[in-house]
Structure 1
Amino acid sequence: MTKLFVLISIAVLLCIVETGHCWRFFYNGRVVDKDYQNTKSWNLQSSPSKYERWFTQKLDHFNPNDERTWKQRYYVNDEFVNKQRNIAFLMIGGEGEASADWMESGAWIDYAKEFKPICFQLEHRYYGKSHPTEDLRTKNLKFLSSQQALVDVAYFIENMNIQYELSPDVKWIAFGGSYPGSLAAWLRQKYPHLVHGAMSASGPLLAELNFDQYFKVVEDDLRLYSDDCLNAVQEGTIQVNTLLKHKLGQRNLDTLFKLCDPIGRNVENSLDISNFFSTLAGNFAGIAQYNKDNRKSNRQHNVTLDVLCNIMVNQSIGPQITRLSAVNNLILSITNQECLDYKYDKMISELRNISWDSITSEGGRQWTYQTCTEFGFYQTSDYKPQIFGDKFPLDFSVQQCTDIFGPRYNLTFLQDAVERTNIMYGALNIDVTNVVFVHGSVDPWHALGITKTLENRAPAIYIEGGAHCSNMYPKSENDTPQLRAARVQIQQLIGSWLDL
């Protein structure tokens, strides 16, 4: 105990604490930082406005007496389309802003050059600039659901067939990754007369309230690097727990992890402590999920699990907790964060903000609502043994639903919501054809998807070493043979669906 304090006290003298505040890098399975997610390094050659269009969409597809409409953004690229205009590709938008970069790059554009479709990308309602309501208050979010989104796509397809004078026998192929990967599969399931085939990448088809397997996969990812890396993360977490019990240790934690607020003032607040541990675990989860996927922003493209594990096994840095803090400070750096803001009340306050101009309107509030009303997907510490500690159990996630949206959104409500979603779509027993399910072994979301072919007309591709949606991003000379083979197989499947 004394030795640990001495080592850490020496180490923290080397740290410079910056001032300011930040919000979490990784939350509810999605990266919060916009620049981390961006695709600007793809070098879009023309203005996004070249592709941007707007479509008049119905607000509530399930109430024929509601005649309200709104403007939904979409992108279109017709430079590849053949004279017959009998093939259309559709990229389905998800829990973030749609990007015009996809209209010029990505695997689907490589396929477009081969099959000559007209290419569309439809932004998901309530994300990006597609604002169906004046604000994000909870009563307005009742129109935000996967069911409404699927009907959005159906109406969009019907209208694009007319507007762009597509062939009466046009074949639409849908593409989606992550949540949109699920939407792509469900779209083919619900509207087979409109959608001829679908590529579903990293789509979690099983709604799961307590997704404790998530961090089991992250643990497996770290173990692939080395047991030493895994053990160092676990030991560093134990040391954090040790320091939390003592005043001097608490002050050392403030400096080591660049905390915006002294943790000694909040050590009795279990929600603050849960948020702190969840954030530290999220540092590894956010990198693991997107490890080496070619989704390169200017600030993060060199940060991989190898980088994090190189830090964790480097004894010259200091004890394991100091290495853990070095990982945390690296994440703060690449996301331009000055300090680690672990305060639960502040996070909740930001997620309660209903303005389209708020920090969390980039998708944080909306996606949280969808997890609270449809999917769950809560990455908890309930898996045992848990190398990241046991401080963020399911109760912690459920508490966020009730604190953000109201007491109605309690455990019973969430359990019913998840059950309803699985009944509605079939979960892992989905009955569908002309869909390819693509997952990567490094991506924790594969635990909720189809990774083995159960039906020849709906094959699964499991990419060893593959990350979240990695098959969708532009090719790289560093791509593994397995990733290259997956892209080829997908192209062959699309060709077979199109009878080409």
Structure 2
Amino acid sequence: MAFQPCGWLLWKVTLLFSLFVVGEGKYKGFRKLSQGEDISRRALPEEQWFTQKLDHFNGADSREWKQRYFVNEAFYKPGGPVFLMIGGEGPASPAWMQYGTWLTYAEKVGALCLMLEHRFYGKSHPTVDLSTDNLRFLSSRQALADLAHFRVVMSETRGLTNRKWVAFGGSYPGSLAAWFRLKYPHLVHASVATSAPVYATVNFPEYLEVVWRSLASENAECPLLVKKASDTLMERLKDPKTYDNITKDFNLCSKLQIQTEMDSAYFLETLAGNFMDVVQYNEDNRGFEGVMGTNITIKGLCGLMGDTSLGEPYNRYAAVSRLMMETFSLKCLDASFNNYVRDMTNTSWDGPAAGGGRQWVYQTCTEFGFYQSTDSPNQPFTGFPLVYHVKQCADFYNVSSGQLAEAVAQTNEYYAGYDIRSTRIVFPNGAIDPWHALGITKDITPDLPAVFIKGTAHCANMYPARSEDLPQLVLARDHIYLLLQQWLKQ
């Protein structure tokens, strides 16, 4: 799986679909991957290992572990800066050491490029398992301290003490890039914080509100059709006599069983995730790092939802689900909440959620919230309210709703939320990306500029350039480079 350095905040959909092979879409708007996205033609860098502290905030704890990192020296010129790509909530992909906009910048300024994998993700295993007791060492603060220690030691061992370091990251790693500059200004000279949700919030219904607007930007009827389908499904879930038909309609792996509101919410959220994932990453260029499903777009989904030959909107909604399964070569859809609980409470590094699901949900329960609930009338889905998300914190990690609320408040108190006071941080965001609702979309100061890119989705400016890129995306990349040029002279 390759999710970095633009994090996989929509983790449930990624967890379900990421391992499967993409097929070709039937409807207009399902684009094929372009020729330039094949990474097999380039030799990827070897993984390297850095001795890291387990607990940076307890001097009496001397335990250490090995953290994975990658190096690209191809563009480095003596005296040049150091670019540090920050890993996030999934395995670090070495493809980013060969492709990406940051390397275009690196070539122009002669930068040495490093990428550090986030603790508890990928192959960076600080503890023997993922027990809740061990996960107490997983936090953004520990991750920032990892970055700081890595920066200090690498500067000493590689003779880079007087070099200017620039941090890069997208999504959660984008937040880390901003916070690294904020909390360790003596170690990092500037940061590019792409699609960074810097404000923590327990309830995040605005995510689905942006999904509505993004679908409507393609076709005003599209989100209305999705809402009608979701409402119809919600009504049918109230009658057990419909379960056999629903099982068949959505090609479920086992007969639908709705015994609790959690069962219903999980099923409804799983289906909504088909749209959430496509909107978040609409028409991006993730294919270069091996991510599948990038050929499915908002245009394609809305075309399917508008296909009257399929019958009522409910049928079209089911057709979307079947298309996603076909695309990822899934024989059936596992919509069992009990199976999900089983996977998420497996604490082994070999467990089905060890790729990042169990770890990231822990971070949401202990730092960020970010729960994409249906607690808003201005969004197209039904049936997975905040209480459904919060209960998982208690079930998986014994974190109460009160503890969650306090943890989120502490996060904003520590990092300042939207009220960041620093210099030399640029905040690119895409207007289609739902995460921009928790990001910086307007300049804070001239030295804390925002780059708001209309028509683009999550982390779009980070991916390799293509001929079909929107003009505003091309201009955004150029603007960010000009800022870096200016800041590196300071």
Question: CA separation in 2, counterparts of 1:30 and 1:315?
Answer: 27
CA contact (8 A) 1:56 1:69 kept: yes
CA contact (8 A) 1:60 1:148 kept: yes
Q: Return the offset for 1:37.
A: 11
Local SS of the residue matching 2:353 = helix
Local SS of the residue matching 2:84 = strand
RMSD in angstroms over aligned alpha carbons?
1.9
Query: 2:266: which partner in 1?
Result: 275
Question: CA separation in 2, counterparts of 1:35 and 1:99?
Answer: 14
Q: 2:428 aligns with which of 432, 438, 461?
A: 438
Query: 1:76: which partner in 2?
Result: 71
Local SS of the residue matching 2:132 = coil
Query: 1:224-250, CA deviations, whole angstroms, 9 ceiling, x for partnerless residues?
Result: 111221221111112213333445532
Question: CA separation in 1, counterparts of 2:453 and 2:119?
Answer: 31
1:221 maps to 2:214 = yes
What is the one-letter code of the residue matched to 1:443? D
CA contact (8 A) 1:208 1:377 kept: yes
Local SS of the residue matching 1:465 = coil
Question: CA separation in 2, counterparts of 1:334 and 1:410?
Answer: 38
Question: CA separation in 2, counterparts of 1:165 and 1:178?
Answer: 31
Question: CA separation in 2, counterparts of 1:131 and 1:30?
Answer: 24
Q: Return the offset for 1:293.
A: 1.1
Query: 1:172-210, CA deviations, whole angstroms, 9 ceiling, x for partnerless residues?
Result: 000000000000000000111110000000000000100
Question: CA separation in 1, counterparts of 2:37 and 2:129?
Answer: 32
CA contact (8 A) 1:28 1:379 kept: no
CA contact (8 A) 1:439 1:461 kept: yes
What is the one-letter code of the residue matched to 1:321? Y
Local SS of the residue matching 2:332 = coil
Query: 1:3: which partner in 2?
Result: none
Q: How does 1:483-494 map to 2 (within 5 A)?
A: 483-494=473-484
TM-aligned CA distance change 1:91 to 1:488, over 3 Å: same
CA contact (8 A) 1:28 1:378 kept: no
1:288 maps to 2:272 = no
TM-aligned CA distance change 1:46 to 1:225, over 3 Å: closer
Q: How does 1:142-221 map to 2 (within 5 A)?
A: 142-166=136-160, 168-221=161-214
Q: 2:91 aligns with which of 88, 97, 106?
A: 97
What is the one-letter code of the residue matched to 1:313? G
Q: Return the offset for 1:329.
A: 1.0
Q: How does 1:59-70 map to 2 (within 5 A)?
A: 59-70=54-65
TM-aligned CA distance change 1:192 to 1:293, over 3 Å: same
Q: Return the offset for 1:338.
A: 1.9
TM-aligned CA distance change 1:370 to 1:30, over 3 Å: farther
CA contact (8 A) 1:157 1:194 kept: yes
TM-aligned CA distance change 1:186 to 1:298, over 3 Å: closer
CA contact (8 A) 1:42 1:101 kept: no
Q: Return the offset for 1:261.
A: 2.3
Question: CA separation in 2, counterparts of 1:104 and 1:387?
Answer: 39
What is the one-letter code of the residue matched to 2:451? I
Q: Return the offset for 1:27.
A: 4.9
Local SS of the residue matching 2:418 = helix
Local SS of the residue matching 2:455 = coil
CA contact (8 A) 1:261 1:341 kept: yes
Query: 1:397-438, CA deviations, whole angstroms, 9 ceiling, x for partnerless residues?
Result: 0111111112xx011010000000000000000111100001
Q: 1:120 aligns with which of 114, 125, 131?
A: 114
Q: Return the offset for 1:51.
A: 3.4
What is the one-letter code of the residue matched to 1:127? Y
Q: 2:391 aligns with which of 399, 411, 417?
A: 399
Q: Return the offset for 1:46.
A: 4.2
Q: Percent identity?
A: 44
Local SS of the residue matching 1:272 = helix
Q: 1:355 aligns with which of 348, 356, 360?
A: 348
Matched residue pairs, number?
468
Local SS of the residue matching 1:429 = coil
CA contact (8 A) 2:20 2:329 kept: no
Which structure 1 residue ranges, 5 or more long, are not aligned?
Answer: 1-24
CA contact (8 A) 2:21 2:292 kept: no
Greater Cα shift, 32-41 or 168-177: 32-41
Greater Cα shift, 252-261 or 130-139: 252-261
Q: Return the offset for 1:251.
A: 1.9
Q: 2:249 aligns with which of 246, 256, 274?
A: 256
Query: 2:53: which partner in 1?
Result: 58
Q: Return the offset for 1:30.
A: 6.5
Task: Normalising by structure 1, report the TM-score.
Answer: 0.90
Question: CA separation in 2, counterparts of 1:41 and 1:482?
Answer: 21
Local SS of the residue matching 1:387 = coil
Question: CA separation in 1, counterparts of 2:397 and 2:328?
Answer: 28
1:365 maps to 2:358 = yes
CA contact (8 A) 2:21 2:329 kept: no
What is the one-letter code of the residue matched to 1:34? S
Query: 2:412: which partner in 1?
Result: 422
Query: 1:230-283, CA deviations, whole angstroms, 9 ceiling, x for partnerless residues?
Result: 2211111122133334455322211111112222xx233211111011111111
Local SS of the residue matching 2:77 = coil
CA contact (8 A) 2:83 2:166 kept: yes
What is the one-letter code of the residue matched to 1:156? F
Query: 2:4: which partner in 1?
Result: none
Task: Normalising by structure 2, report the TM-score.
Answer: 0.92
Query: 1:18: which partner in 2?
Result: none
Local SS of the residue matching 2:166 = strand
CA contact (8 A) 1:98 1:123 kept: yes
1:43 maps to 2:39 = yes
Question: Higher Cα Rg: structure 1 or 2?
Answer: 1
CA contact (8 A) 1:173 1:198 kept: yes
Question: CA separation in 2, counterparts of 1:92 and 1:30?
Answer: 23
Query: 1:145-164, CA deviations, whole angstroms, 9 ceiling, x for partnerless residues?
Result: 00000000001011111222
Question: CA separation in 2, counterparts of 1:205 and 1:458?
Answer: 13
Q: Return the offset for 1:385.
A: 4.0
Q: Return the offset for 1:28.
A: 4.9
Question: CA separation in 1, counterparts of 2:40 and 2:488?
Answer: 29
Q: 1:468 aligns with which of 455, 458, 461?
A: 458
Query: 2:293: which partner in 1?
Result: 300
Question: CA separation in 2, counterparts of 1:290 and 1:279?
Answer: 17
Question: CA separation in 2, counterparts of 1:382 and 1:450?
Answer: 23
